[in-house]
Amino acid sequence: MSVSITMKSVVKRYGDLTIIPGLSEQVRNGEFFTLLGPSGCGKTTLLRMIAGFNSIEGGEILFNDKVINDIPAHKRNIGMVFQSYAIFPHLTVRENVEYGLKLRKTDKEEMRRRVDAILDAVQISEYQDRLPERLSGGQQQRVALARAIVIHPSVLLMDEPLSNLDAKLRVEMRSAIRAVQKKVGITTVYVTHDQEEALSISDRIAVMKKGVIQQTARPEVLYTRPYNVFVSTFLGHSNLFRAHVAAEGETRSVVFANGYKLAVPKLSKEAADGQEVIVAIRPEEFSMQEAGLTCKVATRVFLGKYMQYALDFPEEMLAGKQPSIEYSQDLGHAEHMLGVGDGVTLRPNPDKINVFTADGERSLMEGVVQNE
């Protein structure tokens, strides 16, 4: 049966190199949980620790109440889907799916029934007698999924399962995986570096950087109320501005370097008057107004639904070097478009923008927690 996974101060070391310095997290029973982060952040390492392919140098991992640190991989009852699919090339599709059941000495009739059901669920029944080398990437991934799920594992672990597929197939397989997971109701840990994939598929996402979880939250929360600057820039684009807090009675505002003052209703009480902050504004949170932040258009790219401008701001307005400052103009409602070199004044939407401490480590918005 499906279980919850608890990680308590988990440590991973290779010799002197610490990959994961001490990580705690809880994956709920039946949940689709995604580890998202740039390459080298330790997400695959953590997944392989849960699987039992990597040793655990410190802390504990529990399935329900049971510590699994010392249980070898083949006794953990996990289902795993690999980036390379890892379909056994010498076995037919059906034999691949039967492999785990045979090891469990499932009786013939029961095995036939379960294999038929799962082949049907992932829609590969018609290929069941083929050898895997004659299957497409998407079909192979369906076999891998069926093979992992058919044994009724305690948890399903997926390591970048879609990264070898082309864009269209990726989207299709995404929904297939999601549908099968919901139907079986199995606790799933999914690793990816693709944010769109993570946002679309997950119940909750943990964003990782250098072996540390930056924030765990539902996809929409992660995007709209990121816990720190890293999350706000890693997920989608955020323009970062320097500002300070102005507190007048109950009203709290941010004052930008050009003196423009914007009241932010959701700014937390702990933001003190005069405190230096970073304001993160997403490209779609700007609108053209009389008062606001003044800048020039550097380049523009037409993208159909909207026009994307790169903006030139005076350096003192910005919080450090950034690859680009962007404004997306929704062409469904735009009255006029800007040309390269035009001056423009943009007003940030005060209900949407996020404010962080000056070091970028923590959100100053009300009700934002690191682990939801």
Partner 1 sequence: MNKRALSIRPDFWTFVTLLSIAVFAIFLIYPLFSLFLSAFQDPATGEWTLDNFKLFFERKYYYQSIINSFSVTTAVTVLAVVIGTTIAYFMSLYRIRYKNLVEVCIVISLLSPPFIGAYSWVLIAGRSGVLTQFLASYGIETPPIYGFFGILLVLTLKLYPFIYLYVAGAMKNIDSALIEAAESLGCSGLRKVVTILLPLITPTILAGALMVFMNAMADFGTPMLIGEGFNVMPVMIYSEFINEVGDQANFAAAMAAIMVFITSVIFLAQKYVVNRKSFTMSSLRPMAVGHLTGWKNIVVHAGIYAVVALSMIPQLVVVYTSFLNTNGSIFTEGYSLASYETIFSTLGTAVKNTYLFSTAAMVAIVFLGMTVAYLTTRKKSLLTECIDTLSMFPYIIPGSVLGITLLLAFNDEPLLLSGTAFIIIISLVIRRLPYTLRSSSAILYQLSPSMEEASISLGASPLKTFFKVTAVMMLPGVMSGAILSWITAINELSSSIILFTGETKTMSVAIYMEVIRASYGTAAALSTILTLTTIIAMLIFFKVSGRRDVTL
User: Pick from 15, 16, 65, 72: which binds partner 1 (CB under 8 A)?
Assistant: 72
Q: Which stretch binds partner 1 (CB under 8 A): 45-53, 162-170, 278-286, 291-299?
A: 45-53
Q: Which stretch binds partner 1 (CB under 8 A): 50-58, 186-194, 299-307, 351-359?
A: 50-58
User: Pick from 68, 148, 222, 311: which binds partner 1 (CB under 8 A)?
Assistant: 148
Q: Which C-beta is closer to partner 1: that of 29 or that of 77? A: 77
The minimum distance between CB 158 and partner 1, in angstroms, equals 11
User: Pick from 56, 177, 180, 267: which binds partner 1 (CB under 8 A)?
Assistant: 56
Note whether 73 binds partner 1 by CB under 8 A: yes
Note whether 70 binds partner 1 by CB under 8 A: yes
Note whether 222 binds partner 1 by CB under 8 A: no
User: Pick from 39, 65, 75, 321: which binds partner 1 (CB under 8 A)?
Assistant: 75
Q: Which C-beta is closer to partner 1: that of 122 or that of 199? A: 122
Q: How many residues bind partner 1 (CB under 8 A)?
A: 35
User: Pick from 8, 21, 57, 328: which binds partner 1 (CB under 8 A)?
Assistant: 57
Could you give the CA distance from residue 300 to residue 211 in angstroms, rounded to a whole number? 37
The minimum distance between CB 211 and partner 1, in angstroms, equals 17
Contacts to partner 1 from residues 77-116, by CB under 8 A:
77-80, 82-84, 86-90, 99-100, 103-104
Note whether 219 binds partner 1 by CB under 8 A: no
The minimum distance between CB 355 and partner 1, in angstroms, equals 41
- Can you say whether residue 148 is alpha, beta or left, with left for phi > 0 and alpha for psi between -120 and 50 degrees? alpha
Note whether 15 binds partner 1 by CB under 8 A: no
Q: What is the 3-state secondary structure (H, E, C) of the chain?
A: CCCCEEEEEEEEEECCEEEEEEEEEEECCCCEEEEECCCCCCHHHHHHHHHCCCCCCEEEEEECCEECCCCCHHHCCEEEECCCCCCCCCCCHHHHHHHHHHHCCCCHHHHHHHHHHHHHHCCCHHHCCCCHHHCCHHHHHHHHHHHHHCCCCCEEEEECCCCCCCHHHHHHHHHHHHHHHHHHCCEEEEEECCHHHHHHHCCEEEEEECCEEEEEECHHHHHHCCCCHHHHHHCCCCEEEEEEEEEECCEEEEEECCCCEEECCCECCCCCCCCEEEEEECHHHEEEEEEEEEEEEEEEEECCCEEEEEEECCHHHECCCCCCCEEEEECCCCCCCCCCCCEEEEEECCCCCEEEECCCCCECECCCCCEC
Note whether 206 binds partner 1 by CB under 8 A: no
Contacts to partner 1 from residues 155-174, by CB under 8 A:
157
The minimum distance between CB 144 and partner 1, in angstroms, equals 8
Task: Let me know the angle formed at the C-alpha of 132 by 126 and 134, rounded to the nearest 5 degrees.
Answer: 80
Q: Which C-beta is closer to partner 1: that of 54 or that of 329? A: 54
Residues near partner 1, by CB under 8 A = 51-53, 55-58, 69-70, 72-80, 82-84, 86-90, 99-100, 103-104, 144, 147-148, 151, 157
